[in-house]
Structure 1
Amino acid sequence: MGSDSVQGVDRRRLLGWGGMSAVGVVAAGAGPVSARAGLAAPPGAPHAVDSAAAPPDTRPGGAYDRYVAKLASEDRFSGVVLLSHRGRTVLSRSYGMADKEKGIRNHEGVAFNLSSAGKPFGAVAILQLAQRGKLRLSDTVGTHLSGFAEEIAEKVTIHHLLSGTSGLNTPEEDLRRVFRSREEVRQFYERWARQAKPVSAPGTPTDHAGAEVAIPALIVEAVTGTTYWDYVEEHVFRRCGMTGTAFYTRPQWLTDQHIAHSYMRQADGSRVDAVRNLDKGSPDPYQLGKNPGRNFIDPPGDGGFATAPDLVRFAHALSDGTVLDRPYAELLTGAKAPLPPQGGGLARRTAPADAAFAAYMMPVSLVGGRWVNGRAGVNPGTVASWNIYPDTGWVGVVLGNQDDIPFQEIIEQEMRAVLG
């Protein structure tokens, strides 16, 4: 599953719920406190601004642009940053190499590993099935899946899983295993999900239990009769026009020139290409030995690869009815319950939120009186973040492919540029 690690801080607490956005962590709760979805206006809206009318810090040559350029010049950023306002790109910058061995540079058309930033795709899949009447969010695990312990099958609901309040705990993953096929990955994570144990009553928050990601993916498969990956690629990615986004396999990662390789820092200070060095792992104590290339394909419910423009397309698809009917899009991002003032959220350490809430597989927060929703993830050699600013029509994307990127600070700078 996607990692929670970030360089130089208490990583699980910093990114909270599986590597989340800049503005929140998971909390208990049922039923939306408020509802918002997507953006204030769809692409091409009448008042979309050009770069000259955008806030100064968001423009080419502005504070955010200069900040990222300086990081790149210091070898502290490799990847893509993008700021879009109502479907129009205001700032797009690419730095570093997608594949050093082949001499391929990063650019807008390069797909980066998403890690936990891909988890909301699973929530969208579940909500699509709900709006078609194929399931209810109040359904228990046992409604759709067999083989789970009674206390899970009869008491834990889909809502509990999506909102991070299942009360479940999952055993540690086998980070050193090298998978050889899609089916091996699917079977392993199905068995892994079934090892989940209740550690508290359903309705109480959990510490990013992997089962909360894996079990909804199994439900998607049970209801649709297809694999999670195939369902999401057809009904989310293709519907949104995300042509550069997919659950790529390791052979594709090795050969496709449009996929960024992840460069992991080693104990001796060197960086190695993760997918070309499966025997190498991260020395980071929070993900010791992990190498994202060892998964033949990302586990169901997690990860995937996306380009920055595709994540903007996804953001707009949440607002215009493309991927979910509006009530269900509002349900996806609707605040479920307030978070405590002192949580693990990134917002508590960068741009403090007025209030932060749990949503379905993505946190939402009020920052300076305006909503921000999104998701981020971190793996060895990978950072990914997409933030939607629905009150103003902005979307911010950060995709990186090396360790040592000051991820927290970049998101803070993005928020400062957009929100002022």
Structure 2
Amino acid sequence: MDKQMNWNRLAKKQKELQFSGSIHVRKYGKTILSDSFGYAIHSEKIVNQTHTRFSIASGSKIFTSIAICKLVEEGKITFDNQIINCLDIDFPYFDEKITIHHLLTHTSGVPDYFDEDEMDDFEVLWESLPMYRVRCAKDFLPMFQYEKMQAEVGTSFKYNNTAYIILGLIVEHISGMDFADYIEENIFQKAGMTESGYFSMDELPESVSIGYMEKPDGTWKSNIFSLPAKGGPDGGAYVTATDMGIFWEALMNGRLLSEKMTRILLTPRENVVEDIFYGYGGYMELNEQGVVKYIQMGYDPGVNYRSVHYPNLDLTIVVCSNKSEGAYEMLKEIESLIENK
């Protein structure tokens, strides 16, 4: 794609959306478009830049999946292991038949601490458990440990955040490492994602964007009281858009998992709707020939993330935003530009 030729159209979309964030487009290992818009910190008029780090909410679930796949590859667990045999934590009302496979594919039926079909205000979660006390996977346990199953194990796909908290607990128990440290050592460092990490919101490093939510009167407030103090297995890593381009290259080139395990990670398993499926590594779109693109998305108050990787084109598009909306529309505009170049 020729950046100059298409810039006016992309700029028009950015202004229309008042998009705030970063975009990165990578093909055959080369950056073909990288740009940023809006403010990382509104009050100080600090602008977003290509090295600005953004929270990507559930977009980081794939890191948890890769961690599990790595432990399977090392022979420490299997996808068919029941969770009661992988943890020393008691879940008295959980079905003993729940396996790691069920957790990865959102078919476990465990109670979701944030059921997106039933709730739309993330801040309500922290009325009984203050967000500043949630800094690791075990801190989530009071929100679901003694709750009853919300569905039978092995039933159809239903997106579930609790499942990934449990997967993170398994990573910690089996590896003997803190979850964030395990991801840093086994994914970020190996992929070359030098700017990425799991950061506490009250101890943010340099070049990090603050998430913003629009209020009814058109002004903005930050999301500091809307999210856990530190991200974990179900979401909340901070990355640059460039780092996510690097991540997809490392994953597809076998630097994170073996070729066989990478195929297992990216195999379609659950039909979500029409041509959209879910595998251990997230969503994907299929046609008669196979996978068209892998799809990553993340949404939190003040956080909006979208990324796609087209395996047959070796093309990756990443859009990170520190507002609640806009990433999807920017992604579709970029896809349209590339398709009609």
1:148 aligns with 2:97: no
Q: Do the aligned residues in 1 keep the contact of 2:157 with 2:272 (CA within 8 Å)?
A: no
Deviations 1:208-242 (A, max 9, x none): 22221111001001101121111111111111111
Which residue of the partner structure matches residue 189 of structure 1? Answer: 140
Q: Pick closer, same or farther for the CA change 1:364–1:330 going to 2, 3 Å.
A: same
Q: Scaled by the length of structure 2, what TM-score is found?
A: 0.88
Deviations 1:241-284 (A, max 9, x none): 1111000111233xx33101111101211112333xx3xxxxxx
Which residue of the partner structure matches residue 137 of structure 1? Answer: 79
Structure 2: stretches of 5+ with no match in the other structure: 115-123
**Greater CA drift, 189-198 or 299-308:** 189-198
Q: Matched residues in 2 for 1:319 and 1:415: separation?
A: 20
Which residue of the partner structure matches residue 314 of structure 1? Answer: 247
Which residue of the partner structure matches residue 221 of structure 2? Answer: 272
Which residue of the partner structure matches residue 34 of structure 1? Answer: none
1:413 aligns with 2:333: yes
Which residue of the partner structure matches residue 303 of structure 1? Answer: 236
Q: Matched residues in 1 for 2:143 and 2:157: separation?
A: 17
Q: Do the aligned residues in 2 keep the contact of 1:335 with 1:357 (CA within 8 Å)?
A: yes
RMSD over equivalenced CA pairs, Å: 2.2
Which residue of the partner structure matches residue 293 of structure 2? Answer: 372
Q: Among 238, 259, 273, which residue is 2:208 paired with?
A: 259
Which residue of the partner structure matches residue 359 of structure 1? Answer: 279
Deviations 1:149-183 (A, max 9, x none): 3752x201100110111122224472345434565
Which residue of the partner structure matches residue 268 of structure 2? Answer: 335
Q: For this pair of structures, how many residues does the alignment match?
A: 328
Which residue of the partner structure matches residue 121 of structure 2? Answer: none
Q: Do the aligned residues in 1 keep the contact of 2:191 with 2:256 (CA within 8 Å)?
A: yes
1:97 aligns with 2:97: no
Which residue of the partner structure matches residue 200 of structure 1? Answer: 151
Q: Matched residues in 2 for 1:406 and 1:67: separation?
A: 15
Q: Matched residues in 1 for 2:164 and 2:16: separation?
A: 36
Structure 1: stretches of 5+ with no match in the other structure: 1-57, 279-290, 342-354
Q: Do the aligned residues in 1 keep the contact of 2:25 with 2:318 (CA within 8 Å)?
A: yes
Q: Do the aligned residues in 2 keep the contact of 1:193 with 1:215 (CA within 8 Å)?
A: no
Classify the secondary structure of the residue corresponding to 2:158: coil
Q: Pick closer, same or farther for the CA change 1:224–1:374 going to 2, 3 Å.
A: same
Q: Matched residues in 2 for 1:259 and 1:178: separation?
A: 23
Q: Do the aligned residues in 2 keep the contact of 1:190 with 1:218 (CA within 8 Å)?
A: no
Could you say which structure has the higher strand fraction? 2
Q: Among 309, 327, 330, which residue is 1:388 paired with?
A: 309
Q: Do the aligned residues in 2 keep the contact of 1:193 with 1:214 (CA within 8 Å)?
A: no
Q: Do the aligned residues in 1 keep the contact of 2:103 with 2:167 (CA within 8 Å)?
A: yes
Q: Matched residues in 1 for 2:230 and 2:173: separation?
A: 20
Q: Pick closer, same or farther for the CA change 1:390–1:418 going to 2, 3 Å.
A: farther
Q: Scaled by the length of structure 1, what TM-score is found?
A: 0.73
